[in-house]
Structure formats: C-alpha cells, structure tokens
C-alpha cells in the first residue's frame, strides 16, 4: 500500500528520530508560568507522531513501555527505541541532552532524519523565520499582502494598541457600537494569549479596563500592553475552524498536506479531524492555494519544516486567516496517524484527535493505559480504533488524557467519542473511598 506523497517528502521515505521539545518551543514565546508551557511537558508525548513511522522517541517525561507497544501494535511501527524521563521541567534542548553524550552519539550514529516540534536555538537553521512569523502581527501583514490574489479569503482588520488606557478606550468604543473584539498577544500558543470580548462580557465586568486587568491577572493575556485588537469574524457551526497544514523541504519546495477541521473550545485548540469529507471541497479549495502561497513566503524567509494556517469561516463561507504556526501542529498528529493507517490498513481513514479529554479520577500511567485498553475494546464495537496519544497527564490536579480515534465512517467516530467521554468521566477516584469503584 502506498504512502502519501507529502509523507515521503517529510522524511525522504525513511523512519525518523523524534525529539519532543514542545516546552522548549513554547518558552520562546510565552511566560514559564503559562498553562500552555506547563502542559507542554505532557504535550511532548505527541512526539510519537512527528512522522508516520518513528525509529526513536526522545521525551522529557517518563512514559510506560506499554504505551509505545500498544501504538506499535496498531500502527505496525516495528521496534521503536524510547528515551524518556530526561527533563523534569520539560526542556530537552540544552542541558538535558548535553548531559547525555552517549545518547547524542547514539542519535548521530543512526544518521536518520531528526524531527522536532519546532525550531529553537540548538535545533538547526530557521529560528529567525519562526520568530518572525509566529508573531501574529507579522502573519497578519503577510495575509493582507497575499489575500488580493485569493477571492475566497478575507483578512480581519487588525490594530496594534500600545498603552493600556488607549486599549481600554478602543475596546469600550467597540462595545458601545455592539461589536465583539478579539484581543491577541503578539505571541501565543494553542489559543493562549487570545481573548474574545463581547459587549455583554465587558458590561458585566464594569468596563474594559476592569476586564483587561482581570485577564492580565489571570494570565489569560500576558499584559495589557502591546496587544493586538482584531475584528471578530461572525459565524459558527461545525465548519467554523478549518486549518491548512503543509511542509517545506530543504530545497524550499512547499508540499500541501491537507485541511483539517479543528475543535476550538473558547479560544483554546482542543483537537482536529482529518480525512475524507471532514472539510467540504469548497472550503479546502480556498484554503489550499492560500496556504501554499503562505508557505512559499515562509520558505523565502528561511523556514524549513512544518507549518499551518488557521482560519475561521464567515457566514458567507469565506475563510478568514487568523494565524500561522511555524512548527508542527496538533492537526499534524492526525495527518501522521491517518497516513500510517492508510499505508498499513488501506485508504479512507478518518482520524480525530482529542488532546485534553477530561478524566473523572486521577490515574497513574499503568492504570490509565489499562482503562484505555478496555475503552478501546468498546470503541471497536463501533468500528473505531482508539490510540492513546498523551498518557502522562492523568495525575494532574485536573486530570486529562489525549487520544486519537480512527475509523472509515464518521458516525463511528462520533459514537466512539461519546463513549470515551462518558467512560472517562465515570471513573471513580481510587484514592477516594467515596468514589472508588
């Protein structure tokens, strides 16, 4: 069975070394106390899916061998070499690897492609392009320049406001006109650093100044200075949040991967669905050429590797680009799993990732993996395959697990997701005699 052309381009058709440097990448742009950086420790587990067929995983958090063995059984990976538990703070690039010369020599000796979540100091070239276009005002300027050649694209208006007083005035004025405002930090990760301010929300807080102070105190926004005011694009429904993913090879060639349908909760990314029919052809037909045009500009600026362009869909069906991510992405994981399943089981897979599925009890990895094994058998009754993607966050104060669901029928995905959500929330806490089951 064939492998997708983009997957061949991504690693030259070879297995790869995957280094889970999510926390390192995030730390370039968001404060260390931000939830997105803390969760980056767990999100690094997605390194298992930085290409369709890993040879080596290098992870900051300790993972149970059974996790990778289960993925191997489903995805026919053959033996994967795992190095985990290397960095308590999640930061792999720098001291964590420098302190392990044997591991570095081992990775060098393999002479395989190396894939990171994104470029940081110490990972090679392209850091300047990443830092330039991860900024939301720079990506907005790029979108504005490219949009006239793409009739299905509309770029939301954006304004930079430097002082807290001026910002509060702009937001209050828009609220009095009945307009919702999107506030963005220049840099953010996974929706963190973005807030949607409706007139009702502003009024309930006693005005924009009070609300902005509260958002800064709660670290929803990094500060009240240097924020971007962006037009809120009306619209909603199932097709609200498409995302184009592509990659740029070393020779600067842009390879389109596909268009995913993201799930966004409030402003935070929560997962994506990819595969046949997940995004209508009319939306994909607008997203792909625009996304490729963005990729060519990123390539000219020196970026090599994965990137995406996120959109919102307006009531007329036009796509409004909101940001570009110059790194691997959440939807990339779904595309990698889809490519591997299509290669080993036959074409036509739909894949849905859910990165932070709530748990009704705190579970260590062994107990969590046993729970997911039983849950996978229930999902299989609907014709769906469950893959654990983030198994290390089950003992947090607010425990979660990341999973991917795969099927050839969208109804099977929906049924399996409903079962997974209900089963997870029904868990009793084994440390609490009042809820233990």
**CB 262, CB 310: distance < 8 Å:** yes
Rounded Cα distance between 332 and 257, Å, is: 9
Whether 66 and 391 have beta carbons less than 8 Å apart is answered as no
**pLDDT of 429:** 52
Please determine, for residue 164, whether its predicted confidence score (pLDDT) is greater than 60: yes
Calculate the average pLDDT of the chain.
Answer: 91
Whether the CB-CB separation of 156 and 322 falls below 8 Å is answered with yes
Q: Of 148, 169, 247, 190, nearest to 29 (Cα)?
A: 190
Q: Is the pLDDT at 1 greater than 70, yes or no?
A: no
Q: Sheet harboring 385-390: ordered strands across?
A: 319-325, 305-313, 242-248, 254-265, 268-274, 350-358, 400-407, 385-390
Q: What is the pLDDT of residues 30-83, one digit of tens each?
A: 765 545 445 567 899 999 999 999 999 999 999 999 999 999 999 999 899 999
Q: What is the CA radius of gyration of the chain?
A: 21
* CA distances from residue 83 to 20, 68, 104 in whole angstroms, order as listed: 11, 11, 11
Which tens digit of pLDDT belongs to each residue from 272-318? 999 999 999 999 999 999 999 999 999 999 999 999 999 999 999 99
Range scoring the smallest mean pLDDT among 56-70, 148-162, 179-193, 247-261:
179-193
CB < 8 Å & 24+ apart, contacts of 235-239 = 235/312, 235/313, 235/314, 235/315, 237/313, 239/279, 239/280, 239/283, 239/313
| Beta carbons of 80 and 68 less than 8 angstroms apart | yes
pLDDT at 434: 32
Q: Which phi and psi (to 5°) does residue 32 adopt?
A: -60, -25
Nearest residue to 77 (alpha-carbon basis) of 343, 258, 328, 273: 343
Question: 364 pLDDT exceeds 80?
Answer: yes
Residue 265 has pLDDT above 50, yes or no: yes
What DSSP line would sit under 29-91, residue for residue? TS-TTSHHHHHHHHHGGGGGGSSSSEEEEE-SS---HHHHHHHHHHHT----EEE----TTS-
Given the structure tokens 């992870």, which residue do they identify? 59
Q: What is the pTM of this model?
A: 0.94
What count of residues does the chain have? 437
pLDDT above 70 as % of the chain:
94
Mean pLDDT check: name the lowest of 22-36, 204-218, 257-271, 286-300: 22-36
pLDDT at 2 over 70: no
User: Is the torsion defined by CA of 396, 59, 21, 196 positive or negative?
Assistant: negative
Let me know if 91 is exposed, middle or buried by CB neighbors in 10 A (0-12, 13-18, 19+): buried
pLDDT(369) > 50: yes
In the DSSP assignment, the letter for residue 153 is B
pLDDT at 228: 93
How many CB atoms neighbour CB 95 within 10 A?
A: 12
- pLDDT > 90 in the chain, percent: 77
């Amino acid at each position: 069975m064939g492998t997708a052309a983009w997957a061949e381009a991504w690693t030259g058709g070879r297995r790869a070394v995957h280094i889970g440097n999510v926390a390192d990448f995030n730390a370039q742009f968001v404060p260390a106390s931000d939830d997105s950086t803390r969760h980056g420790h767990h999100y690094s587990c997605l390194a298992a899916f930085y290409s369709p067929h890993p040879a080596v995983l290098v992870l900051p958090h300790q993972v149970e061998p059974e996790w990778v063995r289960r993925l191997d059984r489903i995805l026919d990976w053959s033996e994967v070499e795992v190095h985990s538990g290397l960095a308590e703070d999640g930061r792999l690039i720098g001291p964590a690897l420098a302190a392990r010369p044997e591991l570095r020599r081992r990775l060098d000796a393999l002479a395989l492609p190396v894939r990171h979540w994104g470029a940081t100091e110490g990972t090679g070239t392209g850091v300047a392009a990443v830092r330039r276009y991860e900024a939301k005002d720079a990506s907005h300027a790029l979108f504005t320049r490219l949009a006239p050649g793409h009739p299905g694209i509309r770029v939301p208006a954006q304004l930079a406001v430097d002082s807290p007083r001026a910002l509060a005035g702009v937001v209050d004025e828009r609220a009095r006109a009945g307009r919702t405002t999107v506030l963005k930090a220049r840099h953010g990760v996974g929706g963190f650093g973005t807030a949607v301010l409706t007139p009702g929300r502003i009024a309930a807080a006693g005005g924009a100044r009070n609300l902005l102070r509260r958002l800064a105190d709660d670290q929803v926004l990094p500060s009240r200075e240097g924020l971007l005011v962006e037009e809120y694009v009306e619209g909603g429904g199932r097709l609200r949040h498409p995302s184009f993913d592509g990659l740029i090879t070393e020779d600067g060639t842009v390879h389109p991967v596909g268009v995913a349908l993201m799930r966004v909760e409030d402003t935070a990314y929560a997962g994506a669905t990819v595969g046949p029919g997940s995004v209508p052809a009319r939306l994909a037909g607008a997203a792909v050429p625009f996304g490729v045009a963005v990729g060519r500009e990123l390539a000219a600026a020196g970026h090599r590797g994965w990137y995406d362009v996120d959109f919102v869909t307006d009531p007329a069906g036009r796509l409004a680009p909101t940001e570009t991510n110059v790194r691997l992405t959440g939807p990339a994981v779904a595309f990698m799993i889809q490519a591997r399943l299509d290669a080993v089981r036959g074409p036509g897979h739909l894949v849905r990732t859910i990165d932070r599925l709530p748990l009704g009890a705190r579970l260590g990895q062994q107990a969590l993996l046993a729970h997911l094994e039983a849950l996978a058998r229930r999902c299989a009754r609907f014709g769906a395959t469950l893959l654990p993607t983030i198994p290390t966050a089950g003992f947090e104060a607010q425990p979660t697990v990341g999973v991917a669901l795969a099927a050839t029928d969208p109804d099977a995905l929906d049924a399996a997701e409903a079962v997974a959500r209900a089963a997870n929330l029904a868990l009793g806490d084994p440390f609490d005699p009042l809820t233990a089951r």
